[in-house]
Structure formats: C-alpha cells, structure tokens
Amino acid sequence: MPRLDKAVKEQINALDVATLREIVTKLASKEKMVYDFVLTNYLDKETGETDLLQAAKVDLDYLFWKGYKGFSEQLRMANMLSACIKRINEFTKVSGNKFHEAELLMYVLEVPFSMPKNSFGTCFTQFDYKVGLLVKRLITLVTKKLHEDYRLDYAEKLNEYLRRLHQTSNHINMIYNLPEKI
C-alpha cells in the first residue's frame, strides 16, 4: 500500500466534493473492502458492523466445508485455517473491532479443537503450527487489546486450548513458548 506524501495529501484535500464522491463511488463499486468500509462506517453505522460480522461467519462456515488439497486430514485442515485467517484479516481491516475479531477467532478455533485429540502431535506439524498461531493471536487480543472483563470470558476456553496444545504439540517451538495459562 503506497504511503501518501505531503504533496499528494494536499492535492487530495484540494479536490472538490463532487470529485471525491465520484472517486468513492467508483472505488466502492470495484473493491468489496472499500464498499464494506463505507457501508459500516458511514452509511449504516448502527447495524453495519454486526451485518459484516454475520457475513464473515457465513463465509467462514463455507470455508469450513469447502474441500482442500492435502495428503492428510491435518494438511487439509491447515489449508482451511489459512483461508480462515485470510478472511478474518479482511474483516479486521474493514472493522477494526477487536471484540468481533476475538469472536471470529474463537469461532474458527472451535473446529480444530472439536477434532479428536490424536489429530494434534502428528508428523504434519503445519496444522499444529496454524492452530498455535490462532491461539497466540487470540491470547494477544484478550490480554493486551481488550478490556480486562473480557479476559474472564475467554480464560477458560483459552486455558483448555493451551493445555491441549502443550500436551500434544510441545515439540514445536512456537507452541512451547506459549504460556501454560493466561
């Protein structure tokens, strides 16, 4: 993404309102992210963000059931988690709401942790690593970005996820470096 220097900012500020409206209309019709941003932040402030969250959950549901390439179930799940992370990042760029981001992360983490315990700790470490990254991202959100009250809401589930990861995948450095509890 290009950085705007001072001269470009001054030129943009000098544009008239009609030209700016035309630019926003063109961008919103071509880029979904711009459309979502304008909708949630300017046109539908009351329900736009929750609608965007629900649309993200529908997209994640589709990604859960979509077929992925991979030699084993763990590799297919790792590819699914990569696609889910990409969708959550798109949501975060538009919304910026950390609570909703944490909600989406928990929504995605329910899938790998609903699998049997022997799914973790196999020779296909990409799956364990992706799950660990999601847990680490959620821990960072809960402990540093959200209010302390939310920590209590997430602590039980996160501690269970951490316990299970440490039991099965402690041989991966990133998981080994995760805390035992939050």
Residues 113-143 pLDDT 10s: 998 888 888 888 899 999 999 999 999 999 9
63 pLDDT more than 90: yes
**Percentage of the chain lying above the pLDDT 70 cut:** 99
Is residue 142 within 8 Å of residue 102, measured between CB atoms? yes
pLDDT at 30: 92
More confident residue, 82 or 41: 82
- Rounded to whole angstroms, what are the CA distances from 75 to 17, 105, 161, 179? 51, 20, 20, 25
Confidence band, pLDDT 50/70/90 cuts, at residue 1: low
pLDDT digits (tens, 9 = 90+) for 13-23: 998 999 989 99
DSSP state of 143: I
Average pLDDT of the chain is: 91
Residue 102 confidence (pLDDT) above 80: yes
Q: What is the pTM of this model?
A: 0.87
pLDDT on residue 112? 94
Q: 102 with 141: CB under 8 angstroms?
A: yes
| 124 against 12, higher pLDDT | 12
CA end-to-end distance (rounded Å), the chain: 35
